[in-house]
Structure 1
Amino acid sequence: MPIIVPPGLDPELVRVAELQPDLDYGRPQESRDALRRAYRISRALRGRNAPDDGLEVTDREIPARAGSPDIPVRIYARSGSEGPVPALLFFHGGGFVTGNLDTEDDRCREYARRTGVTVISVDYRLAPEHPFPCAFEDCYDALVWVAGHAAELGIDGERMAVGGTSAGGALTAAVTLASRDLGGPPVVYQMLLYPVIDHAMTSRSMKEFEATPGWHARNNVHMWRHYLGTDAPEKVSPYAAPAEAGDLTGLPPAYLMTIEFDPLRDEGLDFGRRLLAAGVSVQVHHLPGTFHGFDAAAPQSVVGRRALDEQCAVLARATGVKAE
């Protein structure tokens, strides 16, 4: 089934939507290779190699739990910052199957440049080679490591936020839940950007959007099969599918962004309603006329710039800094 540009899409996004590759997540390596090619082309067209943005950007590996490989991370810190400053752990999207430290490099740079918050992007292990709980463990272990090395990193361990896009949104919710459940490092804020939430795939938007640009229901089926395994039990851990969490009380405030033409839309909105019902302070922003990942695909569009402006503003407000 070919990708269909939905009627009602923001006019500025139509051409971008038409150019979105229809990746087949049933073939993980082919999807990874296609995304890498698309990323290289995008960077070349924008002429972005080593932007002069006043940041110190460091790639390093941090230790994981016993028996697991070290975790690659990329740290974005404003040059000359007088610490301690707040931190944001960020988890990229890619359906648990694709993505790396380059996937959200532009977004992480903008967060760090415009807020002064130190951003730590986590290159977690990918399915199907590394199914759940590998990605979750990497992300939670990164939170623990950052908290334990706050002084070395020049950050304030009492002002740590977590955030992520799509599958990274699921990992954000999972890490936040685990921090509460396990008595882990405190998380002061969670940013859930068009997040993966529910493995049941029974929502109206999941049934309706089988050929939307950016992400569609067919790939969602492949995603969960790769992440949970083909013999996954009907009841799964809330650290895999946050919709399975029965108790959402005691979680930190949240910002949740959902997208109109996105199969993940309704599960995200439902999670936002559940957070509100549990007494969690949550800002839900539903963006009409957009497709999944529009802000990464068209960052210079009016709606893309507005979305980034809002994310920087809520991150700054949540961590007590002033955004540019």
Structure 2
Amino acid sequence: MSVAGHLSRRGCTVAVVDYSLAEHIPAGDEWPWPPREAAGIRFPVPIDEVVDVCAALPSLAGVTSVWYLGGASAGASVALSAAQRLRDEGGQLPAGIPLVYPTAHSVLPPMTPELRNKYLRIPFEQRYSPLRVHLMNLNFVGTEDRMEEPYAFPGDGDLSGLPPVYVLNSELDGLRASGQTLAASLAAAGNDVVQFCEPEALHGHLNTPELVVSDRSLARIDAWMTLIEANARASGLGM
């Protein structure tokens, strides 16, 4: 069962945003340099599309005042950038932002010694080295001079004034360096943040929902959403 299917069975109305994707980056630590020129989607198109959907949500049947904006991996970055845009443009913010194994920085933050030791246990095709992350990010924005564009990489931007955030990282994932740094920065900016590192999980594990580890991750997000909704009821918000 997909993540959207799981949320639907939970009783949620789910809007899956089929936002435009940048060109796919091959797996592994190696990449031909310089990257070939290719026509494709670039920043800010995916974020624009998500913001547009969020603006339309109040008019959709089944949408209540308590709604979430979330994503996984690069989708988590797009979701957080969209939330920053909504905040800055006076849009309606979600009640919570669940982010699963996010990559949110223009430059991958340094790995802790503990993560560096575990990095070698990660299958080669699922390793995210600083070089690979740089090239993915460059592919997303198009040119080096756009790497510092506002909203391109939300972990580098203004993280204040956001709704509660749940950051779920995978233990065996080089991108955990970004997720952990993001969670710390969100907390330092005064936000309500919950962070959890799923033991023995690889990046992208929710793509295989039949795994026990995926069930555990979804249960953790469920519990957090239940708490958000209980707080909303206590505050008198409609459900």
By how many angstroms is 1:315 displaced?
2.2
Q: State the TM-score, normalizing by the size of structure 1.
A: 0.59
d(CA) in 2 for partners of 1:141, 1:234: 23
Q: Who is 1:282 aligned against?
A: 193
By how many angstroms is 1:155 displaced?
1.6
Q: Secondary structure at the match of 1:310?
A: helix
Cα RMSD, aligned residues only: 2.2
Amino acid corresponding to residue 145 of structure 2 in structure 1:
A
By how many angstroms is 1:173 displaced?
0.9
d(CA) in 2 for partners of 1:243, 1:306: 26
Q: Who is 2:20 aligned against?
A: 125
Q: Who is 2:2 aligned against?
A: 106
d(CA) in 1 for partners of 2:181, 2:165: 14
d(CA) in 2 for partners of 1:133, 1:215: 26
By how many angstroms is 1:243 displaced?
1.7
Closer, same or farther: CA 234–123 of 1 in aligned 2, 3 Å: closer
Amino acid corresponding to residue 221 of structure 2 in structure 1:
Q
d(CA) in 2 for partners of 1:282, 1:226: 30
Amino acid corresponding to residue 165 of structure 1 in structure 2:
A
Q: Which runs of 5+ in 2 are unaligned?
A: 24-39, 233-239
Q: Which runs of 5+ in 1 are unaligned?
A: 1-104
d(CA) in 2 for partners of 1:252, 1:235: 24
d(CA) in 1 for partners of 2:8, 2:227: 14
Report if the CA contact (8 A) 1:212-1:261 is conserved.
Answer: no
Q: Who is 1:154 aligned against?
A: 62
Report if the CA contact (8 A) 1:193-1:258 is conserved.
Answer: yes
- The match for 2:141 among 218, 224, 228 is 228
User: Larger % of strand: which?
Assistant: 1
Q: Secondary structure at the match of 1:275?
A: helix
Report if the CA contact (8 A) 1:173-1:242 is conserved.
Answer: yes
d(CA) in 1 for partners of 2:198, 2:79: 20
Output one character per residue of 1:40-90: Cα deviation in whole Å (capped at 9) or x when no partner. xxxxxxxxxxxxxxxxxxxxxxxxxxxxxxxxxxxxxxxxxxxxxxxxxxx
Report if the CA contact (8 A) 2:109-2:181 is conserved.
Answer: no
User: Larger % of helix: which?
Assistant: 2
Report if the CA contact (8 A) 2:86-2:93 is conserved.
Answer: yes
By how many angstroms is 1:135 displaced?
0.4
Q: Secondary structure at the match of 1:179?
A: helix
Q: Secondary structure at the match of 1:274?
A: helix
Q: Secondary structure at the match of 1:191?
A: strand
Please tell me whether residue 267 in structure 1 is matched to residue 175 in structure 2. Answer: no
Q: Secondary structure at the match of 1:199?
A: coil
Aligned length: 208
d(CA) in 1 for partners of 2:145, 2:213: 38
Amino acid corresponding to residue 138 of structure 1 in structure 2:
E
| Percent identical | 28
From the CA coordinates, give the structure whose radius of gyration is larger.
1
